[in-house]
Amino acid sequence: MLTKDLLQFSHRKGRLIPTFIDADKPSLLQVANELRQIFASAPGKTSSEIEDFVKTVKSSESATPGLKKILLDRCEFLENDEEIFSKRWEIFKIAQEIRDDNSWGDESNYADLVKRNYNAESIDSLRHLLFSDHPDEKKCASYEDISASDLLNDYNRALLQTLFIFCDDVKITFKNCTTVEKRALFRQLKFHSLMSEVAVDPDDATCTIYLSGPLKLFQKSSTYGLRLAKFIPNILHLKAWELEAQVHLKNKHLTLKLDSSIEVKAKGRGLTGYVPEEYQQVASLFNEANPDWKLSPSDDFVHLGKQTYCFPDFDLTHGKKKFHLELFHPWHRGQLLQRIEAASTSKHKNLFIGIDKSLSKDAEISKVIKDSKWFAEFGFEFNQFPTPKQILKVVTN
C-alpha cells in the first residue's frame, strides 16, 4: 500500500475524490518501465544507492513516488547482523586507544590493523560494516519484477486501499451476486476479522454491508485498518456495487463515494474460497480428533429472523445433523451483543457462538453472558481459537 504522504486526491464540497491514474497512458507506462529497469538491478545495492538511481528518473507525473514505493515493497532486504552493535563499539574503542597512544602509529597502520581483524577489503567497506544496520545501508537481496501495466494497476488499488486506513464507517451495497461470489465475499469478511452488519433485500437482490473502520474503534487499531484495506479489493470483482465511507484526512472529514464504474481493475481470477491458515488448523485438528464429525469453513448465511443474518465461521456436521459455529474476537464487541440478542429470540437451534476470553472482561458483556439463558446453552469461551474439545463439548451437551 501507499503511505499517507503519497495519497493523491482532491476534495470538493466535503467529497473526497481519489486521483486514480490511467493505466494505459503512454507517459506513465514509460515512467513505470524506467523504474522497473532500475529495480531490476537492485539486488546487491543498498537502499541509498537504489534511491540515488531512482532520482535520475525525471517525471512530472504525480504518481511517480507512489510507483517507487510499490516497487520498493517488492524488494527483499537482508536482515541486520545481530552483532553489528558490539563490533562497532569494539572498533570505536580501538580508535580511541590509537588516539590516546601514539605508539600505534599513524592512520594507515590503524586501517591495516582493523582491516585484518574484520576482513574488510578497504576503509570504505569497513565504514559500510560499521553502519550496515542503518536503514539506508540495508542491501537488497532480491526483487520480484512486475509488468509496467500491472504496476500502474497496482498503484490504483494501493491508493484505494490506503484510504480505508483513515475511515470510520463504510457502507457497501451490491446487487445480483452469484451464490459463489456472495459466499466468498462474506468468507473474506470473516477471515479478515472485520466488524460488520448485513442487510438483505431479497426483492431486488440487494445486499448491504456496514463495516466499522479503524477510527471507529475505542482504541484506534492500525492492525484493524490494514485488515479492512486488504479486504476492500475483493469488491472490485463484483459486477455492480456502490461504496460510501467517511474518511478523515488532513484534519478534514470527507465522504468517499465510489461504484463499479471506476477504472480500477481487480487483481486475480476473482473471489475464491481462500481459507487462512489458522482456520485450516482448527478444522484439521478437530477432524483428526473426531473422525465421526466434520468441521469445515462455512459457506452460507444463517437467517435469525427480522432481517438479521449471520455468516458463521464454521459448519459442523455429524450424520444428518448440521450445526453452525460463529467466533467473536476482541474487535467484534458490538456485533456480539447484537448476536446474542437476536439469537435469544430466534427459533434457530443449531447456531453456537464462541467468544474470546478477553471479551468477557468487559463489564457489559460479562453481565450479558452471565444473565443469558441462551448463551449458557449455546455459547462458550476460548483463548484466541477454540480447541477441538471445546467445540465438541458445546454441540453435544
CA dist 236 and 213 (Å) reads 19
Same-domain pairing of 61 and 203: yes
Same-domain pairing of 247 and 219: yes
Q: Which of 208, 227, 259 is the last residue of a domain?
A: 259
Domain assignment present for residue 79? The answer is no
> Nearest 5°: phi and psi at 46?
-85, 165
The answer to whether residues 237 and 174 touch, using CB atoms and an 8 Å cutoff, is no
Domain assignment present for residue 267? The answer is no
Domain count, the chain: 3
Same-domain pairing of 94 and 38: no
> Nearest 5°: phi and psi at 341?
-65, -45
Same-domain pairing of 150 and 130: no
Same-domain pairing of 199 and 56: yes
The answer to whether residues 16 and 255 touch, using CB atoms and an 8 Å cutoff, is yes
Domain assignment present for residue 99? The answer is yes
pLDDT at site 218: 45
Report the chain (397 residues): mean pLDDT per 10 consecutive residues. 93 95 95 96 92 92 95 88 71 70 61 63 66 77 96 97 91 83 77 74 77 63 82 91 92 94 86 73 93 86 71 88 88 76 83 90 90 92 91 89
Domain assignment present for residue 122? The answer is yes
Domain assignment present for residue 269? The answer is no
Same-domain pairing of 241 and 306: no
Q: Where are the beta strands (DSSP E) in 300-360?
A: 302-305, 308-310, 314-318, 321-328, 351-356
- Strand arrangement of the beta sheet that strand 241-249 belongs to: 9-12, 15-18, 252-259, 241-249, 167-175, 206-212, 196-201
Q: Which of 108, 137, 166 is the last residue of a domain?
A: 137
- Give long-range contacts, CB 8 A cutoff, 24+ apart: 85-89: 85/133, 87/118, 87/129, 87/130, 88/130, 88/131
The separation between the first and the last C-alpha atoms of the chain, rounded to the nearest angstrom, is 47
Same-domain pairing of 210 and 296: no
The whole domain housing 302 covers 277-396
Q: Give the CB-side neighbour count of residue 75, counting CA atoms within 13 A.
A: 26
pLDDT at site 15: 95
Same-domain pairing of 206 and 62: yes
CA dist 136 and 265 (Å) reads 34
Same-domain pairing of 171 and 294: no
Q: Dig out the grid coordinates for 81 from the structure.
A: 547482523
Same-domain pairing of 150 and 104: no
User: Which of these, 352, 234, 238, 372, lies nearest to 302 by C-alpha position?
Assistant: 352
pLDDT at site 382: 93
Angle between helices 363-371 and 333-345 in degrees, nearest 10: 20
Domain assignment present for residue 332? The answer is yes
Domain assignment present for residue 272? The answer is no
The answer to whether residues 348 and 371 touch, using CB atoms and an 8 Å cutoff, is no
pLDDT at site 118: 60
Same-domain pairing of 158 and 133: no
Same-domain pairing of 326 and 289: yes
Domain assignment present for residue 67? The answer is yes
CATH number at residue 377: 3.40.1350
pLDDT at site 176: 81
Q: Which of 259, 285, 315 is the last residue of a domain?
A: 259
